[in-house]
Structure 1
Amino acid sequence: MPKTRRGLLIILSSPSGAGKTTLARRLMAWDPSLKFSVSATTRAPRTGEQEGREYYFRDRTEFERMVERGQMLEHAEVFGNLYGSPVGPVDQAIGAGQDVLFDVDWQGGQQIRNSVLGKHTLSMFILPPSIAELERRLRERGQDSDEVIQARMHKSRDEISHWPEYDYVLVNDDLDETEARLRTIIQAERLRISQQPGLVDAVRQLNTEFEDYA
Structure 2
Amino acid sequence: MKKQKVIIFSAPSAAGKTTIVRHLLEKFSFLAFSISATTRPRRPNEIAGRDYHYLTLAEFKEKIAQKAFVEYEEVYQGLFYGTLQSEIERIWQEGKIALFDIDVKGGINLKKYFGSQALSIFVKPPSLTALAERLEKRQTESEERKAERLKKAQEEMQFEADFDCVLLNDDLDTALKEAEKLLLQFLEVETA
> Which of the five TM-score ranges fits, normalised by the shorter chain?
0.7 to 0.9
Partner of 2:28: 31
Asked if residue 10 in structure 1 is aligned to residue 3 in structure 2, the reply is no
Instruction: Measure the CA separation in 2 of the matches of 1:43 and 1:130.
Output: 27
Cα offset for 1:170? 1.3
The answer to whether the 8 A contact 1:124-1:167 is kept is yes
Q: Rg: which structure is higher? A: 1
Partner of 1:189: 186
The answer to whether the 8 A contact 1:6-1:95 is kept is no
> Structure 2: which 5+ residue stretches go unaligned?
none
Instruction: Measure the CA separation in 2 of the matches of 1:150 and 1:56.
Output: 25
CA RMSD of aligned residues (A): 2.9
Partner of 2:78: 80
Asked if residue 155 in structure 1 is aligned to residue 166 in structure 2, the reply is no
Cα offset for 1:35? 0.9
Partner of 1:89: 87
* TM-score (norm. length: structure 1): 0.73
Aligned residue pairs, count: 185
Cα offset for 1:73? 1.4
Cα offset for 1:66? 2.7
Partner of 1:65: 65
Give the fraction of aligned pairs with identical amino acids, expressed as a percent: 32
Cα offset for 1:45? 8.7
Instruction: Measure the CA separation in 2 of the matches of 1:145 and 1:174.
Output: 27
Task: Classify 1:90/1:142 alpha carbon distance in 2 versus 1 (closer, same or farther; 3 Å).
Answer: same
Instruction: Measure the CA separation in 2 of the matches of 1:44 and 1:137.
Output: 21
Cα offset for 1:32? 3.5
Q: What secondary structure sits across from 2:21 in the alignment?
A: helix
Instruction: Kindly report which structure 2 residues correspond to 1:52-201, keeping only aligned pairs within 5 A, or say none.
Output: 54-55=52-53, 57=55, 59-60=59-60, 62-67=62-67, 71-77=68-74, 78-80=76-78, 82-91=80-89, 93-94=91-92, 97-115=95-113, 117-191=114-188
Q: Give 1:83's aligned amino acid.
A: Y
The answer to whether the 8 A contact 2:15-2:169 is kept is yes
